[in-house]
Amino acid sequence: MKIKKRVLSSLLCACLISPAIFSNVNAQENQCPDFSTMNPDATFNLKGDILVNQDTEHDKLYLAKKKEILKFKGTLDVTPIKNKLEEVKEMVLPNSKAITELKNQLKSKEENLSKLKEQLKNTDKKSENYKKLEEQVTSLNAEIEGIKTQLKAVDEFMQNINVSCLTFSMTAKFTLPEGVKFKDEKPTAKLEGNSKFEVKSTTLNGKTVTVVMQLKDQDIQGTYDKFTKMDDAVKNCEDTLVLSLSDAEFEDSVKNGNHNGESLVANGDVVGNFSAKATIISGNSANFKFVMKSEQSDTGKDFALKNDTNNKNIQLTLTIPYDVKYEFESETNGKDLPQDVKDKLPKPYEVEKGKTATVDEKGTEKVTFDNVELADGRWIFNNWDKTKVENVSSDVIFKGFWKFEKVYKVNYEFKSNTSDKELPQEV
C-alpha cells in the first residue's frame, strides 16, 4: 500500500469531526499506476474442482457410459478474495475493527432496549421501578444514537473513497480429455446463481475452452467508482462460483470401442488478478494488487490422485468401460439360425475394468430361452460358452449355442374295408 496507516488513521479521526478537512491535504496526481510493474500485495490460492454430471469423482472414478451426455462444471471457492478485500478495507480504514465492535455494540444495545421497553410496558406506571426503567430506556436511547452518529460519519467517509483503475479478471481454462468433444462448435459457459460476476468471453482452441470472468458490468463506467460498491459486490457474491459448460459427448472413437478400459483425464486451471486504486477526496490514494491461482480442493480431489498428497492439479478422470456383447451360434450342421432366434439376443451392456461380467447383466449367471417353434421343427437353446468373466481386462463376448430338432408330423386317416361302402361323416 502507498498510503501509511497512521496517516489514514488521523484522517479518519478528522473525518469523524469534520469531513471538510480533507480539502487541506495535498492531492496526488490523478492517474493509474502501472500495476504490471508492481509486486502483488498478496498471491493466494483458490480451491477449485471439476464435476461431471454432478459427480466430483472423489470417492471413486467416474464410470462413463459411452452414449451419455457429459455435463462438466467447474467450482471455485472465492472466500479468499473476500478476506483479502477486508484487508484492503483495514488499510483504507485503519479503525475497521473498532467499527465492527461499534456495530456489535449497536446490535446488543438495540436488543436490550427492546427488552427494557417490553418490561416498561408491563410495569405499573405509579411504581418506583417504572421510573427506573424509564431512565434506563432514555440512557440507552442516547447511547444508541451516539453510536449511530459515529457509524454515520464512517459511512460518509467510506462513501468518499473513490475507486479507479479497477481490474478484476479470472481466466479459467478447461481441457477436455481425448475422445471427448463439445456438442456445439462454439461452446458457451454460464455462471450459476450469481449476479455479482459475469462471463466476459468464451473461446475454444482445440480441446481447451478458455473462459474470462469479471465483476458484473465492470466495463460500464461508474459501476464501481466507489469503494463501497466494489466491496458490496464482492462481499455479497456466493462463496463458491459454479461455472457450467456446454454439453459434451464422446467422439466416435470412444463409442466404437477404441478407448475401452482407458482412463481419460479432464484438466482445469484458474488464474486471476484484482487491482485498483482507492482515493479519498483529498487525493491521497492506496493502490492494491492481488494475484490469484487455483488448486484442487481436498473435498473434490480426483480419486486417481488420492494417494498423491502433493498433487494439487485440478482434474477429473473418466473411466471407459468394456463392452459385454452376445452372439448365438448354430450347433446343427447345415442349419443357420433363423431371425426368430437372433431376435432373442440379450442387449449388450458395459462393465468396468477389473470388475466381473456375468452372462446376465443382473449377475445371476443364468439366461435361458424358450424353444423357437417353426414349421419344420424347433430350435432349442443348449448352453453358453461361459457364464462369467472375472477381473475384466478386455471386451467380453458370451456365446450361446442352439440346436435344431426336426419335428415329424403324425397324420391319421380312416378307410372303409367294405366294398361299395364309404365311411359316414359320423365316423
Write the CB contacts of 360 (distance below 8 Å, at least 6 apart in sequence). Answer: 346, 366, 367
360 and 299 assigned to the same domain: no
208 and 161 assigned to the same domain: yes
Check residue 424 and give its pLDDT.
82
Residue 424 domain-assigned (yes or no): no
105 and 224 assigned to the same domain: yes
204 and 339 assigned to the same domain: no
Residue 288 domain-assigned (yes or no): yes
Check residue 156 and give its pLDDT.
82
307 and 349 assigned to the same domain: no
Residue 165 domain-assigned (yes or no): yes
307 and 326 assigned to the same domain: no
240 and 332 assigned to the same domain: no
Q: Of 286, 288, 289, which is closest to residue 5 (Cα–Cα)? A: 286
Residue 417 domain-assigned (yes or no): no
Q: Is 176 exposed, middle or buried (0-12, 13-18, 19+ CB in 10 A)?
A: buried
Check residue 8 and give its pLDDT.
36
pTM of the model: 0.75
93 and 123 assigned to the same domain: yes
291 and 358 assigned to the same domain: no
- According to DSSP, residue 44 is labeled E
d(Cα 287, Cα 166) in Å, to the nearest integer? 10
Q: Tell me if 424 sits within 8 A of 352, measured CB to CB.
A: no
Residue 357 domain-assigned (yes or no): yes
CATH number at residue 401: 3.10.20
Residue 411 domain-assigned (yes or no): no
Q: What angle do CA 286, 287, 290 make, to 5 degrees?
A: 135
d(Cα 153, Cα 317) in Å, to the nearest integer? 55
85 and 156 assigned to the same domain: yes
Q: Tell me if 316 sits within 8 A of 335, measured CB to CB.
A: no
Check residue 6 and give its pLDDT.
36
3-state secondary structure of 424: coil
304 and 366 assigned to the same domain: no
Check residue 22 and give its pLDDT.
28
d(Cα 347, Cα 36) in Å, to the nearest integer? 61
Q: What angle do CA 219, 220, 222 make, to 5 degrees?
A: 120
- According to DSSP, residue 120 is labeled H
Q: Which residues of 396-426 are buried (b: 16+ CB within 10 A; e: fewer)?
A: bebebbbebeeeeeeeeeeeeeeeeeeeeee
Residue 301 domain-assigned (yes or no): yes
Domain-ending residue, one of 319, 345, 362: 319
Q: Of 372, 371, 364, 360, which is closest to residue 398 (Cα–Cα)? A: 360
Q: Of 280, 285, 279, which is closest to residue 19 (Cα–Cα)? A: 280
Q: Tell me if 104 sits within 8 A of 253, measured CB to CB.
A: no
Could you give the residue ranges of the DSSP H alpha helices within 265-366? 339-342
d(Cα 412, Cα 393) in Å, to the nearest integer? 60
d(Cα 379, Cα 323) in Å, to the nearest integer? 28
Residue 344 domain-assigned (yes or no): yes
All three cell numbers of 282, joined, read 483529498
3-state secondary structure of 373: strand
Q: How many domains does the chain contain in total?
A: 2
Q: Give kind and range of the element (H or E) at residue 128.
A: helix 128-159
Q: What domain range includes position 184?
A: 5-28+41-319
Domain-ending residue, one of 319, 353, 380: 319
Check residue 94 and give its pLDDT.
57
- According to DSSP, residue 36 is labeled G
205 and 277 assigned to the same domain: yes
3-state secondary structure of 10: helix
d(Cα 366, Cα 385) in Å, to the nearest integer? 12
Residue given cell 471455485 in the structure block: 76
Check residue 27 and give its pLDDT.
41
Give mean pLDDT in consecutive 10-residue pieces for the chain, a chain of 427 residues. 36 37 38 84 90 90 94 94 80 72 92 92 89 91 93 83 90 97 95 87 97 94 90 88 96 95 96 88 77 93 88 94 96 94 95 94 86 93 95 96 87 76 76
Write the CB contacts of 222 (distance below 8 Å, at least 6 apart in sequence). Answer: none
Residue given cell 446376465 in the structure block: 360
d(Cα 211, Cα 337) in Å, to the nearest integer? 56
